[in-house]
Chain A
Amino acid sequence: MLSIEENDKITQTGPGTPMGDLFRRFWIPAVLSSEIPERDGNPVRFQLLSERLIAFRDTNGKIGILEERCPHRHASLYWGRNEDCGLRCVYHGWKFDTDGNCVDQPAEPENSHFKDHVQAIAYETHEAGGIIWAYMGPKDKVPPFPDFEWTLLPESHFAAHKRMQMCNYLQNLEGELDTAHLNFLHRSWKPDEEDFMPEAGLRRKKYLLSETDFGLLCMARSDEPNDEYYWRMTPFHLPAFTLIPGPYDAANTLTGAIPLDDTHMWGFTVTWHPDRPLNERELMMANGGAGSAVAVDEKTFIPIANYSNDFLRDTELMKNGSWTGIPGVRLQDIAVQEDQDGPVCRRWEEHLGTTDRAIVGARRLLIQLADRLQEGIEPPQVQHPEAFRIRSVAVNGSRDTDPLELWRRGQPVQSTSLSPAS
């Protein structure tokens, strides 16, 4: 349960808000590299943390992310001419480089230095792993870029995808952390099975948390035969990323719930394998083939199956093998997440129980960090880039095995700390 004030605090990420300030201390994904593939190509416009922005790649390949409006008369730089190392506003010809410096004002008097005192808002950028990242916080607090594993791999080993989702980022983030829903929302069964409810051992899990230097490790344990437990371990790494649990040797999938504004978000997913190129099936799933990603409109990134067409729900299928009748795990998630009281859940009215530990833990961590930041205490996690080099874990282990040891065995860097950041 959150109070109304806490719900506002955790869901609002615009400029000057406590949670907005917290997000602005981290590198966050802005656009896919493939959206601005060419030097001097057309810019793209998008929103991030309730700010209207444009991204472009200049003549030298350098990337700029600027406030969308020209500082002069607020015309959109989206229409701008990207040429000769800068983006020129089509309205009066003011031109800006990737750092936001005004490098030309052709209508000003010949000897004027006016342009030297004009600046467009520009954010730090970093291109890695198929994504262009932005840092939107104070210039003197730019953190090191996190060591996400796939950003250190050849292009053949990963695939990045993006979608727009019509809800606040927290509804998606909480869904990713909520292991309890898996055996219901995503349930399918064979037509000849009599009981379509999951087995009790699978649907009744025990939940455990461990605060770490990347955020929070959320663990769910279910009973298995042969004196074993099945562990699903979902890392929540700040500010809004999770990894989908999977076996040690499988491809990994990261999901990011990045606020576009307070009622929409960008859902970034990245699938990678540390040891080999992705195979055909993994690529298909990663690019919208009913896996963790969905097919989207190429320009808007809105899923083709969406609220307006009932997410292509097949009600006949609900009688014959699909819990929801909605095709694909991601679409099933979106269908429920986009309407929890609409795009922003009224968390002060919900009715939680003891199985909601991961959700409550993530909320508390985010609010705690946002509050501390308002008191002048920076989030320590941003200073641990190595802590973000993690993989997912979903394994069986004997009942006397420490689950944290099972987690460590799956990590590329064995020294990955599980202690809270200090």
Chain B
Amino acid sequence: MPTADDLLSDEDDPIVDDLLPETIEGVAARLLVSDSFEKLVYRECELDALWTLADIAIEMTALRETGHRIKAWQVVPEGSETSLVKLRSLLERAHDLTVSAQPIQAAEVLHEAARLCASWS
């Protein structure tokens, strides 16, 4: 019988608070071992969090010229706006594949997203 800690292991309850390649690869790795309704919902939430970060970064980057400052764009160098939009699009694809119970395909898309983020650093 599983204990509370088994059900809520750190691997299954990660902190997703940046767009670093290792964070994205972490979600991809967990997707490959997610085969239940519950686990796929957990992964969807992690993808939601990544999408949130990308979407707000895009929003704020667009406002950069007006003097807005926000931490979210710190991961994106100036001139990377197009890449950021591509990243958000990849995260959306991974999200939709997860919702369609295709975690392996979703993980492949996340590898591409992680490579894109790695190119910024």
Chain A residues with CB under 8 Å of chain B are: 1, 206, 208-211, 221, 229, 351-357, 360-361, 364-365, 397, 399-403, 405, 420
Contact = CB atoms under 8 A, between A and B. Distances in A.
B67 interface: no
A364 B16 contact: no
Contacts of B11: none
A157 B75 CA distance: 59
Contact of A356 (B2, B48, B95, B99): B48
B41 A399 contact: no
Nearest to B38: A209
12 contacts: A209-B42, A211-B38, A352-B48, A353-B48, A354-B16, A360-B44, A361-B41, A364-B44, A397-B4, A400-B3, A402-B2, A402-B4
A208 B7 contact: yes
Nearest to A364: B41
A181 B79 CA distance: 38
Contacts of A209: 38, 41-42
Nearest to B98: A364
Nearest to B4: A403
A403 B41 CA distance: 19
A420 B45 contact: no
A401 B3 contact: yes
B5 to A, nearest CB: 7
Interface size class of B (residues with CB under 8 A): 20 to 34
Interface stretch (B51-59, B103-111, B112-120): B51-59
Contact of A210 (B38, B46, B99): B38
A357 B4 contact: no
B16 A405 contact: no
B13 A352 contact: no
Ranked nearest first, the 8 interchain pairs of A and B with the lowest CB-CB distance are: A352-B48, A351-B52, A361-B41, A209-B38, A353-B49, A354-B45, A211-B37, A206-B8
A208 B8 contact: yes
B38 A1 contact: no
Nearest to B12: A208
Contacts of A208: 7-8, 38
Interface string B19-60: 000000000000000001110111011101101100110000
A210 B7 CA distance: 10
Contacts of B3: 399-402
Contacts of B99: 364
Nearest to B37: A211
Contacts of A361: 37-38, 41
Nearest to B99: A364
Contacts of A206: 8, 13
Contacts of B44: 360, 364
